[in-house]
Structure formats: C-alpha cells, structure tokens
Structure 1
Amino acid sequence: MYVELKHINKNYGSFKASDDVSFGIEQGKLVALLGPSGSGKTTILRMIAGLEHPNSGEILIDGKVVNDVPATKRGIGFVFQSYALFRYMTVFDNVAFGLEVQKVPKSEIKKRVLELIELVGLKGLEKRYPNQLSGGQRQRVAFARALAPNPKLLLLDEPFAAIDAKVRQELRSWLKGMIQKLGVTSIFVTHDQDEAIEVADEIIITNHGRVEQKGSPIEVYQNPETAFTASFFGQPAQVKDYTQFKTFEEVKNADKAFVRPEFVRVTKKSEGPFYDSSAVEGVIEQVFFRGNTLELVVRVGDNILTARRGLDEEIVEVGEVVDVFIYRIFVTIGSEARLLQNQAVREESVRI
C-alpha cells in the first residue's frame, strides 16, 4: 500500500474526529473519502497532509511513518475547495509559486509551468489574473499549482464544491482522465455520492469519525456492509414494516428496512400488476421530471417510496392508484446490513 493509516485517533477536546481509523490505498489509485458533514473525512485528509496531527496511530506514505514529518517535506500536493490562488499573481506565477519557494532554476520553472498549463487546458491564459478566469479555469490553475513540484500524492478537499453544476460535471471527467494519465496517487474529499461513484477507483465511507466501508463504487453501492452505508447510499427510503410487501424472507431481529428507487416498479392499473403475487397498491403523491426519467413519490400504506418511470411509458398522475412491486430490500440487524431478494422472482429475471 502506498498510503496507510493504522489505528488513527484524533480528538478535539471531548469530540472524537477520528476513531480508530485504518485503511490502505494502492499507488496510482484515485480514492474518494465520502460521508456526511462532520463524519471525519476532512480531518483524515488534513492528517495525511500534515496539517493536523493524530493523537495516536501511524500514518505511512510509501512505507515510511510520516507522523513527525512536516507538511512541506511529505511530497504532497494539496488542492483546496476555495482555490486559494494569489489574486495579484498571473496564472503563470500562481503555478510557479511552489517551485520558486523551492529555488528551482528559472529555466526549469518555465518549462514545468508551461507544460502544466497546457496539460490542464489553459494554454494562452498564462498572463491572466484569477479574476479574469471562470470558476472552472481557476480550479484548473489550482490543480496545476499542486502538481508543479511533482508530488507523489495529491490531496483534494471538495475540489468541485464552489463550481456550478455544468462545469463540475466537465471537471469530474477531466480530473479522472488527468489522474489516470499522470498515475499520481490521489485522495479527494466529497459529500456528493454521484461525484464519488463517477470519479473514484475506490470509495471510503466515513461516519462519526469511523470508516464504515471501503471498496469499488460498484461494491459499496450494491453490497453495503453496514446499516449506515445501506441508509446513506442511493437515495433510500426507510419502510416501517417490509413484510407488508409480500414474498420477502422474514429476518429475525431486523431493526430497519430501506428501499432504493431502482428496487421499485410502479405500474398503472391498466397495465396490470408486475408480479401479481407480490404487488401492493399505492397512491402517487408527487411526480418530478428528471430529464431522462420521471421520479415518482408513491405512498404505500404508511410508507413513502421513491420510484422511477421511463419517459416512453404512459404518464402517471398525482393521486392515481397504482400497483407497486418491490424487487429488493435492505434490512439492518444492529450495525450490519443484509440484502433481501423478493422471492416472487428469480434474480436473473429482475428487470430494472
């Protein structure tokens, strides 16, 4: 592993920001630290950077313990959410700043800076100032500045949070491609699930200072190991009594149950129920247009579920009585999560 955290604990007074955090990251991977506000993800990032220090445990980079190594000596590039550009410096001078501090020869600085400016797609903008750039362009300058000293590790603290949605989408693809091209190990903090799924090779989910789960986006999404991950990922709706949906195995001592939108099939009465033996009636409470799909809010008894319906299907109306079929349900037993399949249909025949 290129980056390792071993039993890291970090306290701020009586508040435990990191609680026995341990994980490893392979060289060249792009990893997301994902979790709600206050879950400890930024604290982890800042400890790796050397901007905060753990109360106990070890941080290793390339096999070496770096707990006592100053931030400037760790070989790390850091991209901040706020860009942190020098507003009275040009693009060229902002990117060159770290190299000048290291007293790199001017000829080498010029070559390196121009290479990076071209790499991040800002060729021709070298003499502009930050206030003459768009938000996306400023963030690219911040990336180039972090990469200038050839760091072995790149850390990014919610790098797209201050950028509008369209540019954010473009920068996600750009960042993933750039990291793959450079092969630099990278860790970024985000609270955006879509961002983590789209960009990261691996996701580390944090909650209350602890690591809940680590794995590829597909693994974490499809197979949540903990109750928190099941309740956090994928827009889940909690249901009060999942046995009312019929043909599900009854799990003893189950605490809660969660249903994701893709687990739900809504059909009009005129279409006939989907898997009649397990369908239940519901009432459409809201309909939202989401571009390529309709998002339905449907009440089934005391439960409010979210479902999706294709634009090529017949429209359903608010107040309409419909049939609802649930393919799968996550149930939690203590801190663990378990996926239940509807016994009315075999897994290979499920059509979502």
Structure 2
Amino acid sequence: MAEVKHGRPETLAAQALGVVDAATGALIPPLHPSTTYEREADGGYPRGRVYARADNPTYDSAAHTLNALEGGAATLLFASGMAAATAAFLALQPGDHVLAPKVMYWALRSWLLGFASDWGLVVELVDTTDLGAVATALRPGKTKLVWVESPANPLWSVTDIAAMAELAHAAGARLAVDSTIATPVLTRPLELGADLVMHSATKYLNGHSDVVAGTLTTAQVDEYWTRVKTVLGQNGGILGTFEAWLLQRGLRTLFPRVRWQCASAQSLAERLQALPQITDVLYPGLPTFPGHDLARRQMRGGFGGMLSIRIAGGRDAALAVTGRLKVWKRATSLGGVESLVEHRASIEGPSSPVPDDLLRLSVGVEAVDDLFDDLTQAVDGE
C-alpha cells in the first residue's frame, strides 16, 4: 500500500493517509494474521516479507500514519510503551551514560534504576526543567542519550525540548522525548530538534483503553536506529496483528478526541481552583503554572487532557475523595475516552517522589459539567 500524503495532519489521521486497499478498494486497511510468507522457487522474497516478527503488513498503516504526523524518517510499533522505551536504551552499550527526569513515568524510572543500571548503563536522574542542572550533568563524549518527558507524569512539568536538543547535541548525545501526553496533535518533538520520539500508544494514540502498544519514531535512519530495530526483532517485543489494526482505528479519531479532552481539562482546571478543599491544581494551561509560558510556545492548540489536584488533609483525604466519585472511574492508565482518577503515591510505593495528597486525573470525552459536578461532590464529602 503506497502512502498518499494529501492534506493537513487532521486529514492524514482521519483517512489513514488516504490509502485504499488495492485488491478490494476497501477504505479500512485489511488485517493480516499470517506469521510467515512464501518464498519464490529461487528462494527469494520479491514481496519483501519474510517473517511476522520482523514485519507485518498490518503494521504499515499505523506506522506510516504516525510517521507522517510526527514528521519522522521511520516509525516502529512495539508490544507496549515500555517495550518501545526500553528499546531506546537497550540499543546503547553497557557503560554509556544516560540522563532522565527525576519525576517521570514510574515504570520506566524503576526499570532505569533497576534493570538498566544492573545491565551496565550509567543512569543519572536530573530536573530536566532546569537547563543549568542538565548542562552540569551532561558528560561530553560519555552521555549517549538524554530522555525527556513533556509534560511529565504526574506533575505535568514542561521541558524546553529545543533547548534540551541543543545541550544534548553539543555533548554528542541524542535526545529522546516521551511525548505520550502531548501527542503529535499538540507537540512534534522532531521539529524542535529531538532525535527520537516515543509514545505509549496504549494511551491517546489508541484512545479507547483496549490496546497495549508503544511506538518509536526517528528523525533519521542511522546505525543507532538499526540497533533499535534489532532489539525489537530479537527481543520479540512485537505488537499483535489485531492490536496494530485497532491502533490505526484509534489514530483516525486522534485529533477530535485530544482537542475535546484539552478543552475539558482546561475548563476543569480553571473551575477546580475555586474549591477550598483543593490546595493546588497542576495543569500547564493555567497562567499560574510554573511552565505555562513554555507550554504556550511548545504546545499548539491546547495543553493536554491530564491534570493533577492536591487535596487538603493529605493522603487519607485524597483517597476518600476517590472513593466518593461516581462518574470518574478509579483505574490505572490514561488517555481513553472515559475519565480516570488515580492516587499515584499509593500505586508507586514509599520511594515515589509524588506527593501523597495528589490525585491524577485523565479527562475523557464525557460532558465536562458532569465531571466537574462529580469532583465537587466528592471533595465536599457528600
């Protein structure tokens, strides 16, 4: 299937690049469950397909669509966001120095401080919103990868991607950006100088809480990218065929979903500030948020569908609020059409840097007044 790149990003996503199945004329890409492909009599593979662990035609639609949205040179699909993120580090060599945020997606932070460090990477955590601290932590010639998450889960701090790219490149390192929260609707890290962009596609890219997937998109196909592909194939972290098909289905509605969720999150953040039981609202769209001005420059058309609130009375009061919610669902994950709430400190455990009075909110596509009313009654203790 050839790519047809006509139109703006919204059109490319909605029409899956406008590709029509050549064999049937179908507007929806077919699903190919086959794990293997026939050789010709001479032993060759003129169609370019050998074995599904290396590639599968069902991957093409989602990978090509996301690649176009990110403006990348190539995109790979993985079995999960963690499979994608860890592949970026496993493509390095033991002894390489890497930088990552102090506050970031907890599972990857734990993997870096555990497996990756034991394997031989020299992992250093730094406040990536502090460019001076990053410049000090960089080791020219030794730092190979700088990992940034923006906005960063669950405090939603915003990192200057363009400035980080300059610092990383000056030290001879690559910059990788976890852009799960921003999505290509709001931020395109490769345009800002990043070398690699990662998504937990489980979240907004799929958007329906029925797929676990991850993606990596590169600015250039080089030796490092070849090693990333090798990690994918040899570690076997491949995406299932049906999951790849569902991911493409989700990408078709990415823009309207994310824009709706951004608008609702902005409305909720502004209104929740007035509730006395809430001591702080963390959302990049608020003028009082420390990274607001940067977010305005770096994010286009909204500030994301994620926010966090801090509850007066600490941990017990915060947990009590979740117990009283009726519309919001108490569940892990984010980015789906249903609104979710989670007390991150209790999920992450005693070593978590997250305040124990904080509740993370993933805003779905429900009526925003229903979401606000539910939060209001829950914090009021009704």
Same fold (TM over 0.5): no
Category of TM-score, reference length = shorter chain:
under 0.3
Q: Which of these two proteins has the greater Rg computed from alpha carbons?
A: 1
> Hey, which of these two has a bigger chunk of helix by percent?
2
Q: Answer 1 or 2: which has greater strand percent.
A: 1
